[in-house]
Amino acid sequence: MSLTQHLSAQLPAHLPALQVVLPLLSAPLAVLLRHGGFAFAIVTAAAWAAFATAIGLWLQVGQLEPGGVISYHIGSWAPPWGIEYRVDRLASFVLLLVSGTAAVVLPWSRASIAREIPPERHYLFYAMFGLCLTGLLGITITGDAFNIFVFLEISSLSTYVLIALGQDRRALAAAYRYLIMGSIGATFIVIGIGFLYLMTGTLNLADMAVRLRAMESSRPVLAALAFLTVGISLKLALFPLHQWLPNAYTYAPSAVTAFLAATATKVSVYVLIRFYFSVFGESLVFHELPLPQIMLWLSLFAMFAASFIAIFQDNLKRLFAYSSVGQIGYITLGLSFDSVHGLTASIIHLFNHGITKGAIFLLIGGIVAVSAVRGAPSMSTTVTFARIAGLGKRMPLTCFGIVIAGLSLIGVPGTAGFISKWYLIVAALEAEQYWLVGAILLSSLLAVAYVWRFVEAAYFRPPPAGHESRNEASLALLIPAWVLVAATLWFGLDTSFTVGSALEAAQQLVRSGQ
Amino acid sequence: MIEHFSYIVTVFLMITGLFIVMARGNLIKKLIGLSVFQTSVYLLYVAPGKLVGGTAPILAPQYSVYSNPLPHVLILTAIVVGVATLALGLALAVRIREAYGTIEEDEITELDNKVEVLEEQTGPRP
Amino acid sequence: MGNDLVLRVVGKLLIPFILMFALYVQFHGDFGPGGGFQAGVIFAAGIVFYALIFGLENARKVMPDWLVETMLAAGVLLYAGVGVAGLLLGGNFLDYFVLAHDPVHGQHRGIFWVEVGVAITVCGVMLKIFYMFASRGLAEDQK
């Protein structure tokens, strides 16, 4: 058998490793070549390959019997001693979101960072992007607790660098703040994992779960739960721990903002779900501690306070950054119900909000690219409301896209956001918490308010004198952004992929958590 | 009390580090606090892995008690992560000093607020 | 401090031994404490020592910036390359058993190259960090 035949026969079995290794290889190659164009080509190719791998894994999981798991042994060391990569329905779903977003954002980034980052740093940008992608995919796919921490730090450290590449000097301060808060979060997570390791003597998540079931719940296990909850909440920007997020999203290069907003916090939510349901199990998390109540109130605070703050922002990027904090509230609200439907709503919203926010930040990045002049003072890249007056005439496609994605944030029927809110309301009704339905609708009104501010500025204010002519973003910027906008509409109409996967994942998680 | 000595040191370092990070406004001091905080975790992992009288886990007929090597390997990774975080934090602090002329957090916030007020007043770019 | 005669002489005497010790730590990692991390840091410490005594410019002639950046990437590639070699030879990713005809020998070979990769990257990273901070200080002094 020739080598190529041998490889193509072996390929499907090695997809879990390739999922992480391909982006990992692209980063050092990008550094070695020291050329922006080559680095772009390699990292983009790796991201597409990762997307193809994720699709392959998704199909493979579909062929297993319900509740099946693909297990890959790194170095052929059998778990629980070796590191195991585990792909179940939820993991393959999140892998699709992360690699898919990267596959869309990277082609977009070429035209955008040409305006936002000096050319001699382009290869570093792509190397860091490759590493960040590696980290996020690794967190999702690994079945080893300490491995989660390592991949978390790979993605976090590269994220700090990516944010600091922003033009404005405030990007530096934002990156520093995120570094401090992110490191505290990661250290809390590693303390939690340490307690779990001390109590169970294993690092494999599945093995840990089995051993935790067998033992009486003890104080170190509860302490581990507390440390992990706080640490991961910092990473996913749950309401009172969200301070790092708005500035980081506002001043990072636009491509970075779009990628992070669509993936980074979502992967953290995934880690939280993984620890709650696959490791600790429902009974420990939701019955021994008042965690559902705490989660419920923090989520409500996020939904109302962050959305309320968003209304008064003058900077468009920061407005949608606060909106992200609010939307994360919906995701954690679904978790707090402790039911299959609640969890389904969380997982659907994790995906739908990812693509919606990705679309919005890509389109805003288009506005930045059109208005920015290389070498001009940093203030010229901030998109304030005064600056987008009458933009609906100048950049019709961009503005229309933001409006559609904005409707998805509100949850208008026909958009992806509606589906997630629908399932959230179903879960609330199922839990007989009727007042929550009112709360969800009320907080959607706040979203109407901030999206309306954009509509008002872009369509009802006259453009400034001398700026009336059409000045649309280039196709290289429009096409990837509109791919995500189209996805928001598609997943609002055809829900078989999102709802089907999420429901199956939720059932699998709840079953394993009992 | 004596048998819990290592835990007491761990918790002391943990709280000290976290306190420095939160209470100090100087960017370098914050990083020092962060490092102390991370160091406490190294101790949390490594100390329980040590067995009194245990040796390195190399099979030899004259030894029967071995220390657990896994925590050491894990912490080697965590140390590398800590070094990378510290280096990146310091590099950011250097560039913040170049951009703002200060490494005091409250002064940076004040400078940022001034720019923000300016931004709100400016309309479209001329 | 570059003009101090004692330092220059001691430095010249010590630096070869520091570099040699790094190699010892690297290759003795199989049998005793050691390995790529430590070796890389010790090797980088030798170069940093040289830079402190003989100046940054001279150190940059020994280890130019492009070389440091290449080391950084090459080490990671070597590590991942060992993993991919395992894949190509019919095992899983990072499978050392298949690297040679008998598994024990394969483990030796795998860990050897992985540790070489680690040492190269760690040395590169340490020097990169040192150059970065050292050259910034100089730039400010000259202003």
Q: How far is CA A196 from CA A190, A424, B43, B44, in A?
A: 10, 32, 15, 12
Domain boundaries, chain C: 5-142
Q: Do A175 and B92 touch (CB under 8 A)?
A: yes
Residues with Cβ within 8 Å of residue A174, at least 6 apart in sequence:
A163, A166, A244, A247, A248, A250, A251, A252
Tokens standing for residue C97 = 């058993």
A91 and A273 Cβ atoms separated by less than 8 Å = no
Mean model confidence pLDDT for chain C: 87
Which uninterrupted H or E stretch holds A73?
Answer: strand A70-73
Pick from A182, A388, A427: nearest CA to A299: A427
Residues with Cβ within 8 Å of residue A280, at least 6 apart in sequence:
A209, A212, A221, A225, A513
What's the rounded mean pLDDT across residues A59-70?
86
What's the rounded mean pLDDT across residues A171-192?
94
**In this predicted complex, what is the ipTM?**
0.92
Helix, strand, coil % over all residues of chain A, rounded to 5: 80, 5, 15
Interface of B with C (CB under 8 A): 56, 76, 80, 84, 87, 90-91, 94
**Distance (Å, rounded) from C-alpha A341 to C-alpha A420?**
11
* Chain A touched by B101 (CB under 8 Å): no
Q: Give C10-38 pLDDT, tens digit per residue.
A: 989 999 999 999 999 998 877 777 788 88
Which uninterrupted H or E stretch holds A249?
Answer: helix A244-251
Tokens standing for residue A465 = 């004198």
- Can you list the domains of chain B with their CATH numbers? 5-50+66-121 (1.10.287.3510)
Confidence bin at A35 (pLDDT 50/70/90): confident
Q: What proportion of chain A, given as a percentage, has pLDDT over 70?
A: 96
Question: Residues of C with CB below 8 A from B91's CB?
Answer: 129, 132-133
Q: How many CB atoms lie within 10 A of CB A157?
A: 23
**Per-residue confidence (pLDDT) for residue A285, from 0 to 100:** 74
Q: What proportion of chain B, given as a percentage, has pLDDT over 90?
A: 40
Provide the shortest C-alpha distance from residue B18 to chain C (in Å): 26
Question: Residues of C with CB below 8 A from A27's CB?
Answer: 73, 76
What's the rounded mean pLDDT across residues B53-74?
80
Q: Which residue has the tokens 């979101």?
A: A97
With a cut of 60, say whether residue C101 has pLDDT above it. Answer: yes
Question: Residues of A with CB below 8 A from C90's CB?
Answer: 6, 10
Tokens standing for residue A367 = 């506005």
Q: Which residue has the tokens 């003009």?
A: C3
What is the SS3 string spanning C13-48?
Answer: HHHHHHHHHHHHHHHHHHCCCCCHHHHHHHHHHHHH
For residue A70, the cross-strand partners are: A87
Question: Residues of C with CB below 8 A from A6's CB?
Answer: 90
Which uninterrupted H or E stretch holds A483?
Answer: helix A475-493
With a cut of 70, say whether residue B122 has pLDDT above it. Answer: no
Residues with Cβ within 8 Å of residue C96, at least 6 apart in sequence:
A75, C82, C86, C103, C106, C107, C109, C110, C111
What is the SS3 assignment for A462? coil
* Chain A touched by B4 (CB under 8 Å): no
Query: Which range, A1-10, C64-73, C88-97, has the best average confidence (pLDDT)?
Result: C64-73
What is the SS3 assignment for A87? strand
Q: Which of A7, A29, A74 sits opposite C94 (nearest CB)?
A: A74
With a cut of 50, say whether residue C143 has pLDDT above it. Answer: no
Which uninterrupted H or E stretch holds A85?
Answer: strand A84-87
Residue type, A409: L
Comparing A239 with A162, the larger pLDDT belongs to A162
Q: Which of C69, C77, C94 sits opposite A75 (nearest CB)?
A: C94
A222 and A289 Cβ atoms separated by less than 8 Å = yes
What is the SS3 assignment for C91? coil
CA torsion sign for B35, B40, B45, B47 is positive
* Chain A touched by B11 (CB under 8 Å): no
> Which class for A469: exposed (0-12), middle (13-18), buried (19 or more C-beta within 10 A)?
exposed
From B25, which residue of chain A is nearest by alpha-carbon distance? A177
**Distance (Å, rounded) from C-alpha B122 to C-alpha C17?**
63
**Per-residue confidence (pLDDT) for residue A466, from 0 to 100:** 67
What's the rounded mean pLDDT across residues B39-67?
82
Q: How many CB atoms lie within 10 A of CB B3?
A: 6
Confidence bin at A424 (pLDDT 50/70/90): very high
From B98, which residue of chain A is nearest by alpha-carbon distance? A169
Residues with Cβ within 8 Å of residue A284, at least 6 apart in sequence:
A212, A217, A221, A222, A225
Pick from A157, A231, A221: nearest CA to A187: A231
Q: Do B90 and C133 touch (CB under 8 A)?
A: yes
Question: Residues of B with CB below 8 A from C132's CB?
Answer: 91
Q: How many CB atoms lie within 10 A of CB A169?
A: 19
Confidence bin at B126 (pLDDT 50/70/90): very low
* Chain B touched by A370 (CB under 8 Å): no
Range from A46-50, A467-471, B67-71 carrying the lowest mean pLDDT? A467-471
CA torsion sign for A45, A51, A57, A60 is negative
* DSSP class of C102: S
For residue A100, the cross-strand partners are: none
CA torsion sign for C124, C130, C136, C138 is negative
Burial state string for A185-217 with b = 16 or more CB within 10 A and e = fewer than 16? bbbbbbbbbbbbbbbbebbbbbbbbeebeeeee
**Per-residue confidence (pLDDT) for residue A433, from 0 to 100:** 85
**Per-residue confidence (pLDDT) for residue A45, from 0 to 100:** 95
Pick from B40, B35, B39: nearest CA to B88: B35
With a cut of 60, say whether residue A207 has pLDDT above it. Answer: yes
Range from A311-315, B64-68, C122-126 carrying the lowest mean pLDDT? B64-68
What's the rounded mean pLDDT across residues A404-430?
92
What is the SS3 assignment for A144? strand
Q: Do C80 and A21 touch (CB under 8 A)?
A: yes
Phi/psi of residue A352, nearest 5 degrees: -65, -45
Q: Give A243-302 pLDDT, tens digit per residue.
A: 899 999 999 999 999 999 999 999 999 999 999 988 888 777 777 778 888 889 999 999
Confidence bin at A403 (pLDDT 50/70/90): very high
C79 and A24 Cβ atoms separated by less than 8 Å = no
Tally the C-alpha atoms within 13 A of residue C2's C-alpha that lie toward its C-beta. Answer: 9
Confidence bin at B1 (pLDDT 50/70/90): low
Pick from A156, A5, A130, A161: nearest CA to C77: A130
From B92, which residue of chain C is nearest by alpha-carbon distance? C133
Q: Do C37 and B91 touch (CB under 8 A)?
A: no
Pick from B29, B115, B35: nearest CA to A247: B115
**Per-residue confidence (pLDDT) for residue C2, from 0 to 100:** 55
Angle between helices A396-410 and A416-430 (to 10 degrees): 10
**Per-residue confidence (pLDDT) for residue B124, from 0 to 100:** 43
A130 and A46 Cβ atoms separated by less than 8 Å = yes
**Per-residue confidence (pLDDT) for residue C137, from 0 to 100:** 64
**Residue C36 CA from chain centroid, whole number:** 8
Confidence bin at A462 (pLDDT 50/70/90): confident
Tokens standing for residue A35 = 């050329």
Comparing C82 with A511, the larger pLDDT belongs to C82
The length of chain A is: 514
Which uninterrupted H or E stretch holds A117?
Answer: none
For residue B55, the cross-strand partners are: B66
Range from A79-88, A371-380, A414-423, B98-107 carrying the lowest mean pLDDT? A371-380
Comparing A132 with A373, the larger pLDDT belongs to A132
With a cut of 50, say whether residue A375 has pLDDT above it. Answer: no
Best residue in C84, C92, C113 for a mutation probing chain A (most A CBs within 10 Å): C92
What's the rounded mean pLDDT across residues A381-402?
85
**Per-residue confidence (pLDDT) for residue A273, from 0 to 100:** 92
The length of chain C is: 143
A215-219 long-range contacts, CB within 8 A, separation 24+: A217/A284, A217/A288
Round the CA-based radius of gyration of chain A to a whole number and report it: 22
With a cut of 60, say whether residue C65 has pLDDT above it. Answer: yes
> Where are the extended beta strands (E) located within B11-125?
none
Question: Residues of C with CB below 8 A from A31's CB?
Answer: 69, 72-73
Mean model confidence pLDDT for chain A: 89
* Chain B touched by C136 (CB under 8 Å): yes
What's the rounded mean pLDDT across residues B100-114?
88
This prediction's pTM: 0.93
**Per-residue confidence (pLDDT) for residue A4, from 0 to 100:** 74
Question: Residues of C with CB below 8 A from A28's CB?
Answer: 72-74, 76-77, 80
Q: How many CB atoms lie within 10 A of CB C94?
A: 24
Tokens standing for residue A396 = 């019709």
